């Protein structure tokens, strides 16, 4: 509509005028004059609507949105998903823009809201800058260790197999105490602020630590106990990681995630060898059977599940009426009895898990 025409209409009545005026305001890109933040505004949209199908594990269309370089690059089409400064040449924009009521992406789902599409377009228009804070996690290190103004909540403890050390979860770190408790012999300071589980390998040489930064990233750390050095850091998922356990041969590490999955990695390579999604709630703890063939996992919804490692197959729920569950005939159950874990529901009703450990020489 030309401006003259608009004026003519607007004179015809106040109501009509206000309707048109609103339309005009909506048509102007509301973000044009403001800098759109990738980290604060765009990333959460991608995380909520795209990352489920475009994560590194098995990305649809060979396209990954969780790494910035890949997000720009694109996937199997070999068209650049994002061309900085040029939203109209960016394949991603084409795919998220609805035709009628449907858009190509997110595939087979409701299109993004117009406001979200505008944000993404504007961010690309402004140069598609990655303003994610660099190395936020490295706030603490050996030279600059965490300080405590009050005793932290201890989420996990583990005695070394020889009974000489006690690993205690702290903030951004794991403290290695002498088992008698009278001396700290090491501070294993890592990237993750929240530590959820600490577990010595069966030979005591390594310590597995799971944790992360809540609602941002999960991490698995493998520490060399004698050297007190970080051997491996494996980033996984968008939230803290729980309940690590070693296979009896020390080759695999199983753990639980808040995306309701039970997973295991090969420690030497970091390769994921088990991924099981049969739980309906966060997976808070795991344990291998004594022969290493199965993993038992427990969830926030208080269910316990049995999974075969080799086939990644969910076998069954374990309940108090599972045949032989508490007798010696059944290998995995012995493992449960072997490690004592306390589960508590605090007064707020929010379940919390505190991992305890029994001294091997007690």
Binding site for ligand HEC (CB under 6 A): 49-50, 52-54, 60-61, 63, 74-77, 79, 81, 91-92, 95-96, 105-109, 112
CB-nearer residue toward ligand HEC: 83 or 306: 83
Nearest-approach distance from CB 82 to ligand HEC, in angstroms: 8
Q: What is the Cα–Cα distance from 240 to 340, expressed in whole angstroms?
A: 22
Nearest-approach distance from CB 117 to ligand HEC, in angstroms: 9
CB-nearer residue toward ligand HEC: 81 or 222: 81
CB-nearer residue toward ligand HEC: 63 or 246: 63
DSSP 8-state code for residue 83: -
Q: What is the Cα–Cα distance from 50 to 71, expressed in whole angstroms?
A: 11
CB-nearer residue toward ligand HEC: 43 or 279: 43
CB-nearer residue toward ligand HEC: 95 or 354: 95
For 173-227, the DSSP string reads EEEEEETTSS-EEEEEEEEEEEEEEEEE-TTSSEEEEEEEETTTEEEEEEEETTT
Give the number of C-alpha atoms closer than 13 A to the C-alpha of residue 50, restricted to the C-beta side. 24
Nearest-approach distance from CB 112 to ligand HEC, in angstroms: 6
Q: Is 252 exposed, middle or buried (0-12, 13-18, 19+ CB in 10 A)?
A: buried
Nearest-approach distance from CB 240 to ligand HEC, in angstroms: 24
Helix (H) or strand (E) holding 334: helix 331-338
Nearest-approach distance from CB 212 to ligand HEC, in angstroms: 23
Q: What is the Cα–Cα distance from 114 to 17, expressed in whole angstroms?
A: 24
CB-nearer residue toward ligand HEC: 60 or 216: 60
CB-nearer residue toward ligand HEC: 49 or 217: 49
Residue with tokens 């374990």: 318
Nearest-approach distance from CB 253 to ligand HEC, in angstroms: 29
Nearest-approach distance from CB 79 to ligand HEC, in angstroms: 6
155 to 58, 166, 170, 357: CA distances (angstroms): 32, 13, 8, 11
Q: What is the Cα–Cα distance from 309 to 276, expressed in whole angstroms?
A: 10
Nearest-approach distance from CB 21 to ligand HEC, in angstroms: 32
Strand order in the sheet with 272-276: 241-246, 252-257, 262-266, 272-276
CB-nearer residue toward ligand HEC: 49 or 279: 49
Nearest-approach distance from CB 76 to ligand HEC, in angstroms: 4
CB-nearer residue toward ligand HEC: 50 or 274: 50
Check residue 260 and give left, alpha or beta (phi > 0: left; psi -120 to 50: alpha): left
Q: What is the Cα–Cα distance from 137 to 230, expressed in whole angstroms?
A: 15
């Amino acid at each position: 509509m030309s401006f003259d025409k608009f004026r003519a209409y607007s004179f015809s009545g106040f109501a009509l005028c206000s309707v048109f005026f609103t339309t005009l305001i909506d048509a102007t890109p509301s973000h044009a004059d403001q800098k759109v933040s990738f980290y604060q505004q765009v990333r959460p949209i991608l995380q909520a609507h795209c990352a489920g199908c475009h994560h590194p594990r098995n990305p649809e269309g060979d396209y990954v949105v969780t790494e910035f370089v890949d997000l720009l690059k694109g996937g199997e089409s070999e068209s650049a998903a994002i061309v900085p400064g040029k939203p109209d040449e960016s394949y991603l924009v084409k795919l998220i823009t609805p035709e009628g009521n449907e858009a190509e992406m997110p595939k087979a789902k409701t299109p993004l809201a117009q406001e979200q599409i505008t944000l993404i377009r504007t961010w690309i228009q402004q140069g598609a800058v990655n303003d994610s804070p660099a190395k936020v996690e490295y706030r603490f290190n050996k030279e600059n260790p965490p300080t405590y103004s009050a005793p932290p909540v201890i989420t996990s403890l583990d005695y070394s197999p020889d009974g000489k050390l006690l690993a205690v979860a702290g903030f951004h770190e794991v403290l290695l105490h002498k088992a008698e408790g009278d001396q700290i012999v090491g501070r294993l300071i890592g990237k993750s602020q929240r530590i959820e589980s600490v577990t010595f390998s069966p030979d005591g040489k390594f310590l597995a630590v799971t944790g992360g930064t809540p609602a941002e990233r999960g991490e698995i750390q493998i520490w060399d106990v004698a050297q007190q050095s970080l051997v491996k850091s494996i980033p996984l998922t968008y939230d803290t990681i729980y309940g690590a356990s070693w296979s009896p041969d020390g080759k695999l590490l199983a753990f639980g995630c808040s995306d309701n999955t039970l997973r295991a990695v090969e420690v030497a390579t970091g390769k994921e060898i088990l991924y099981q999604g049969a739980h309906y709630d966060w997976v808070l703890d795991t344990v291998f059977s004594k022969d290493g063939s199965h993993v038992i996992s427990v969830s926030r919804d208080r269910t316990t599940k049995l999974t075969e490692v080799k086939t990644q197959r969910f076998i069954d729920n374990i309940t108090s009426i599972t045949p032989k569950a508490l007798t010696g005939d059944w290998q995995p159950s012995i493992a449960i009895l072997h490690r004592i874990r306390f589960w508590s529901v605090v007064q707020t009703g929010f379940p919390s898990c505190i991992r305890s450990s029994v001294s091997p020489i007690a």
